[in-house]
Amino acid sequence: MVMLGGEHSLSLGAVQAFKETFPELCVLQLDAHADLRDKYLGTKYSQACVMRRIFELCPIVQVGVRSLSWEEKQFLNQHKMTPFYISVLWG
């Protein structure tokens, strides 16, 4: 499955549906932001939280990340995850 563009919240529903059919699903995220916050502006389902919700369903790989919040950095460390940062990819 490939999803390009659109509102981030659409991704969660698509992943939930595909996870039922493909239990070994892994998500590749191409984005400048990690979107791993637990809550943002009072909701767990904002654009800044979508990859955290998806990670609760399946493994994720992040490519192109250029900015993180402190909370997101702690989450990555806790789960021993390292995104492919854009600064490293572009040298």
Contacts for 57 with CB less than 8 Å, ≥ 6 apart: 15, 16, 19, 25
| pLDDT exceeds 80 at position 5 | no
> Are the C-beta atoms of 27 and 17 separated by less than 8 Å?
no
Q: Is the pLDDT score of 91 beyond 80?
A: no
Specify the pLDDT at position 53.
98
The string over 35-59, giving b where at least 16 C-beta atoms fall within 10 Å of a residue's C-beta and e elsewhere, is bbbeebeeeeebbbbbbbbbbeebe
By residue count, the chain amounts to 91
Residues in contact with 16: Cβ distance below 8 Å, sequence separation at least 6, in sequence order: 57
Identify any residues that bridge with 29 across adjacent strands, giving them in sequence order.
62
φ and ψ of 68, to 5 deg: -140, 150
Work out the pLDDT band at 28, boundaries 50, 70, 90: very high
The 3-state DSSP class for residue 61 equals: strand
